A and B are shown apart, each in its own frame.
Chain A
Amino acid sequence: MGLLDWLLGRKKTAEPARKPSRRPPAPRDGGEGSGFVVDSLEGESFPLTAEFRLRSKDYDRLKQKWQRVTVPSLKDWEAKKSELEQDFFRRFAFYKTMKGQVVSRWNREVWEFMRTTLIVERRR
């Protein structure tokens, strides 16, 4: 209700009901339901093709894009995970300043610790 309406004693009319959006909002990347945490691939049937990504346990901004990965057998999983870790490092290990200078985000010890805390997520 505007000031003029209020001064003139006009009553507030009910707002027309909003039309429901035709489509439900798309789930946000990383939101609930977009993937699930993988602790182990034991019990899966191989070769396994699925989308995987790594994300930091502590920093929400540090997460990979989903990558389609084929794991031929259980014993190959560690090697595939290592590839994902290397990609994660390449993607996030450096901070670029406004003037284009590059700064390491982690020293060796911090990266080694960080690597152990990365969470593997998977979606089909």
Chain B
Amino acid sequence: MFRLRSREPEAVRREYYRQAPLWLPPRASQRQFRFAIEREGRTRFLKIRDRVKDVPTLRRWLVRYAPLHAYFTTSTWLDPQHLGPRELHGPGYPRAYNIYLSSELYLDLDLPGQFRRARREVAGVLSHLRQRWGFRDLGIVYSGSKGFHVHVRDFDLRRFAEVPLDPREREAEAQEAKRPIVEDVLQQGFAIDVDTSLDTRRILRLPGTVHGSTGNLCEFVEESRLPHYRPRRVYRA
């Protein structure tokens, strides 16, 4: 798929990002992108200072840092570069960097060491979301490690509740709208990570990037190809 000359993981990632097809989530410029990078033997998180509005911007940052892991926020924010904790500890106006706009619904299905089962289960999750909740615009992403993510792109808060004008109430309402769906999926026996779905300040691995610990590609998987899908390895970790 790509001709990679270097054997050092960081150099391989950099080379990969120079030519890789990249993907951006909807309303990317309203999201924060975070990289995990390795410096002096320690992994640290780095917030991307730019508004990532297009693929060339994302590529520039990916090539510069060749991160171990690349993530995006599952919610959109008025000022995503300055997204802070929900509770403000320092001085300042709490809402200045905490204006929640919207979010899709994301499900993280992890089954360590049971890849075949994870493939079956993610198909089951999709089927359940369609039949029970009427979602249609669904995407499957292989996480690059233990399982799959489901992107529910047609989750719309307006379908479940009045959208409050106050951003904090809006954030809480979005969480409440997702809660019964998440509880239902969990009750069906699917091993999803509740935090990923409900935490509005959560980050998720960016499809099209390399999972630095495994060397596998995190990528979209067509549903029709899911039963035979095998992870693609960019390098041997």
Which residues of A are at the interface with B, using a C-beta cutoff of 8 A?
57-59, 61, 95, 97-99, 101, 103-107, 109-110, 113, 117
Given contacts A95-B195, A103-B194, 20 further A-B contacts (CB under 8 A): A57-B112, A61-B195, A95-B198, A97-B175, A97-B179, A98-B86, A98-B168, A98-B171, A98-B175, A99-B176, A104-B183, A104-B186, A105-B195, A106-B186, A106-B191, A107-B186, A109-B189, A109-B191, A110-B191, A113-B191
A31 to chain B, nearest CB (A): 9
In the complex, the 7 A-B pairs of residues with the closest C-beta atoms, listed nearest first: A98-B172, A110-B191, A97-B175, A105-B194, A95-B194, A99-B172, A107-B186
Inter-chain CA distance A57–B110, complex, in Å, is: 12
Assuming the contacts A58-B110, A95-B194, A109-B191, asked whether A103 and B179 have C-beta atoms less than 8 A apart, the reply is yes
Contact present for B198 and A103 (CB under 8 Å): yes
Bound complex: CA A107 to CA B182 (Å): 12
Known: A58-B110, A97-B172, A98-B171. A104 touches B191 (CB 8 A): no
B204 smallest CB distance to A (angstroms): 14
Residues of A within 8 A of B187 (CB): 107
Asked if residues A101 and B179 are in contact (CB atoms below 8 Å), the reply is yes
Interface residues of B in 154-191 (CB under 8 A from A): 168, 171-172, 175-176, 179, 182-183, 186-187, 189, 191
B146 contacts chain A at the CB level, 8 A cutoff: yes
Q: How far is the CB of A93 from chain B (nearest CB, A)?
A: 10
B128 → chain A, closest Cβ, in Å?
14
Within 8 A of A (CB), among B82-97: 86
Question: If A58-B146, A109-B189 touch, does A104 touch B194 (CB 8 Å cutoff)?
Answer: yes
Q: List 22 A-B contacts (CB under 8 A).
A: A57-B112, A59-B193, A95-B195, A95-B198, A97-B172, A97-B176, A98-B171, A98-B172, A99-B172, A99-B176, A101-B176, A103-B179, A103-B182, A103-B183, A103-B194, A104-B183, A105-B194, A106-B186, A107-B189, A107-B191, A109-B189, A110-B191
Contact of A99 among B110, B175, B183, B189 (CB under 8 A): B175
Chain B residues near A110 (CB-CB < 8 A): 191
Q: Which chain B residues lie closer than 8 Å to A109 at the CB level? A: 189, 191
Quote the shortest CB–CB distance from A46 to chain B (angstroms): 34
Interface residues of B in 56-71 (CB under 8 A from A): none
Residue from A57, A95, A99 with most neighbouring chain B CB atoms (10 Å):
A95
Q: Which residues of A contact B172 (CB under 8 A)?
A: 97-99
**Bound CA span A57–B213, Å:** 14
